[in-house]
Structure formats: C-alpha cells, structure tokens
Amino acid sequence: MSLPQTPSFSLTGKRALVAGASSGIGLACAVALGQAKAAVTLAARSTDKLDQAVDLMTAAGLAATSFQMDVADISRTQAQVAQHGPYDILVNSAGLARHAPAIDTTEADFDAVSSLNIKGAYFLTQAVAKGLIAVGKPGSLINISSQMALVGGIDRAVYCATKHAVEGFTKSMAIEWGPLGIRVNTICPTFIRTALTEQTFNNPDRVKWLEEKIKLGRVGEVTDIMGPVVYLASDAAALMTGTHLLIDGGWTAD
C-alpha cells in the first residue's frame, strides 16, 4: 500500500501572462503566481504602475517583467502574445464596468464594456491558446469573471451580460481545447475592495445591499483571489476545465 501524493501547487518552470496587472485583482494574481515560482509577465495600459509593480516584485525575489497592452486592441494584443509567448498560464483581469439602470444604458457604454469584457477577453484567450497549440504544450487559461456571471444585479445589466458571455465562451473553448491539454476556467469574485469599486462602497444603499447578500459578512479583498488563481493555474486543478471558481462569500447560495 502507498499513500496518494498531493498534486503540486508549484508553478516552477511555467510562464504566466497577467493582463490588467497594474493594480487590484490583476496585481494580486501576478504576485500570487510569482510567489508560486512562475515567471510572470504583467501587462496593462498603465506603464507607470506596471513599472512600479515589477520593481516591487523583483525586489521581493520574484521573476517579473512587463509590457504595455490594451486588451481591446485585438490585432496588437495578438501580435504581442505571438512575440512574447508562448505562455503556460493566462490570467485576464482586464475589465470595465459602467453601471446604470438598464433603461438608461447608452449605446456607447454598451459597446465600450462589451469590447473589453467580451471581445477583448475572447481574443486574448484565443491568442494564448494559439501559442500553446503551435508548440504542442498544455496550459491553464483563466479569465476573471464575476458572481454577476451567474445572477443579475441592480444597475448592472450590461456588466452582467458581458460576464455571462465570458462563462459561455469558456465552456466552448474548454470543450474544443481539452483534448490538447489546455484548460479554460474563470474565477467569479463577489465585490472586491479595490480603487475601481470605491464608488460602490461610498454609496450607503449599495453597502447595505452588499451586507445583506454576502453571507460571510464582509466584502472581498484581493488576497481572497490569490489562492484560487494559483490553484487553477497549477497541477492541483488538472481535472478542472470549462467551469468557474465562485468566490462570493455565499452571495449566490440563495
């Protein structure tokens, strides 16, 4: 008799691309992957913040580089991934929210949010997969989705629509690329306290709504996403594809 061995959470020898990595959830994911021994490339539109993040990670002994990327610029993103890849791991944290009552949604807001959250995410995921397929490597592709990919929310019709779409293409890509060893999943957080969500937290009515919905009694912190992203990226999640990790404090348990 022999005891089973826990699959490794180490990412030694893996190359990871994290889009939207200049702050918030994206930066936390980059740090988590780096601490798990991946060589991490941080990408975002803001190069000043990227440079600061890379300096801090390097000073902490982590392997980190960066380049400027706008995920909504499809052709340039595809060229950058082809040039710098292949990447064993993708984490796409680039996203946009323009919240308003559905009756007040403008075409401009709909197009802007859809262009980044659906179209940009789709073609970035495709680009990384192409690089892996070209060299015959497996990989783990992760999009940061949302609990709003499973439910609806006040003033969030467009945002919910885009995140539901991400879940849809994740399942289809996982089916197509599974035989090649390429796993495709999402992480679906609840409200995470970042600079981008401060507007919500400054609204007393919204805070009351959050407190009623999150069963664990607190909003999320970026550190709540760091363990799950390492899990999905690693061999510990080797049989996980076409689905999501829901990090919502019990929001969707109702």
Query: Does residue 213 contact residue 152 with C-beta atoms inside 8 Å?
Result: no
- Which of the 8 DSSP states describes residue 13? T
112-133 pLDDT, tens per residue?
Answer: 999 999 999 999 999 999 999 9
CB proximity list for 35: less than 8 A, separation 6 or greater: 62, 230
Whether 159 sits among the annotated catalytic residues: the reply is yes
Give 11-53 pLDDT, tens digit per residue. Answer: 999 999 999 999 999 999 999 999 999 999 999 998 889 999 9
Q: Find how far residue 139's CA is from the centre of its chain.
A: 15
- Kindly name the residue from 87, 122, 159, 231 that is annotated as catalytic: 159
Residue ranges of alpha helices (H) inside 116-216 are 121-135, 157-177, 198-201, 204-213
- Sequence length of the chain is 254
**pLDDT tens per residue across span 196-214:** 777 777 888 878 888 889 9
Q: What is the rounded distance in angstroms from the CA atom of residue 21 to the CA atom of residue 117? A: 15
pTM attached to this predicted model: 0.95
Q: What is the mean pLDDT of the chain?
A: 95
Identify the band that residue 219 occupies on the pLDDT scale cut at 50, 70 and 90.
Answer: confident
Site of tokens 């996403």:
225
Q: How far is CA 183 from CA 62, 84, 96, 102, 194, in A?
A: 25, 21, 25, 34, 28
Q: Residues near 235 by Cβ (< 8 Å), separated by ≥ 6?
A: 7, 8, 9
The 8-class DSSP code of residue 1 comes to -
pLDDT the model gives residue 16: 98
C-alpha to C-alpha distance for 95 and 166, rounded to whole angstroms: 11
In the structure encoding, which two tokens stand for residue 230, read together? 């390492």
